[in-house]
Amino acid sequence: MPLVAHNDLPTFAKLQQEGLRVLTPGLADEQDIRELHIGLLNMMPDAALAATERQFFRLIGESNPIAQFFVHPFTLDALPREPSAREHIDKFYDSYEQIKEQGLDALIITGANVIGPDLSQEVFWEPLIEVADWAHEHVTSTLCSCLATHAVLDFRYGQKRFRQPRKKWGVYRHQVVEPSHPLVVDINSEFDVPHSRWNSVYPEQFESGGLRVLVTSTDGSVHLATSPDGFRTVFFQGHPEYDTVSLLKEYKRDVNLYISGRFENYAPMPENYFSEFSAAVCREYQARVEKSLAANTPIPEFPEHLVTGRLKNTWQDTATAVVGKWIGLIYQFTNMDRRMPFMKGVDPNNPLGL
């Protein structure tokens, strides 16, 4: 069933324009259908704040036709924000105190912008631990995305991430390695997932923490895993929520950082993402940029319009299916008032009976 536009957050209007069904509160009240309340802890930097909202709202709204979805975005006060982003947050986001008071059926935690290699030195570290620990006790299940996965694996399981020799950057093939798990049963046995990260937690670290690995990349790296009980915490290392153009936008950003002198080397193209034509366009643009920089002449405009229409999305269907299965499990285990621990009457060490 659809998302419910319970406030004036612009993301709801944008998703409606895309064709996603979004109910007004009045129409939602007329439906005799169960509500699910899902928190979105959005830790992304200002430039990606609204796009991240849309990506996760879309995944939820297109997932499982069993409930009306009320999605409650909130963030951490410790994160620095520009005035325009702060105004957006103050107007449309809940506070953490409101989230705790009203309760949630589930929680999604996004990635964040980091400054150094040690996550424990980041401004979000202690507030994130507080939210994650509260959710572990009071929310049915928490889904962690990319850097949030690294942070939770660090402070809860003692598994620190490692910087890779090169950035994992592009769209990669993956396979299901525990096909009987309810989160992946009956989905494609192989599928694509976008990645964009310099750091990784390796398979042996997941195993050392007692975690359940469900999906790995063809190079062996982990994309999807869960806490030992199989459900209370779900970990993504990739970005299945990405829009078709997300990697292109990131590539363009990195190219502009090189042009401005903030990057020493020209940005590599994301792997397995551009068509041959698009890759040729980007190589030609790089040559024009290098020529302009050498001659100190105006930089040509990035040819985004020549690339956008040729991009392929090979991950969204499977991403929606996995999130749909996650929400289906939440629906089974939650109670109507969202204030009772989901473990009531269920073995907390094996809620799925695996």
CA distance 225 to 191: 16
Q: Inter-axis angle of helices 246-259 and 276-295, to 10 degrees?
A: 20
Task: Return the structure tokens found at 194.
Answer: 């976008």
CA distance 296 to 353: 66
Q: Which of 169, 336, 173 is nearest to 246 (CA)?
A: 169
Catalytic residue among 150, 239, 250, 282: 239
CA distance 241 to 58: 8
> Can you list the pairs that 303-309 forms with residues at least 24 positions away whose Cβ atoms lie under 8 Å?
304/248, 304/252, 306/278, 306/281, 307/248, 307/274, 307/278, 307/281, 307/282, 308/245, 308/248
Task: Return the structure tokens found at 297.
Answer: 């002449």
Per DSSP, what are the bridge partners of residue 23? 4
H or E stretch covering 138: helix 125-138
Evaluate whether 156 touches 150 at the Cβ level (below 8 Å).
no
User: How would you class 182 by CB atoms within 10 Å of its CB: exposed for 0-12, middle for 13-18, buried for 19 or more?
Assistant: middle
Evaluate whether 192 touches 223 at the Cβ level (below 8 Å).
no
β-pairing, 212-217 with 222-226?
antiparallel
Q: Inter-axis angle of helices 125-138 and 147-157, to 10 degrees?
A: 80
Catalytic residue among 53, 122, 241, 250: 241
Catalytic residue among 146, 150, 174, 195: 146
**Is residue 190 annotated as part of the catalytic site, yes or no?**
no
**Is residue 130 annotated as part of the catalytic site, yes or no?**
no
**Is residue 146 annotated as part of the catalytic site, yes or no?**
yes
Query: Active-site residue numbers?
Result: 146, 239, 241
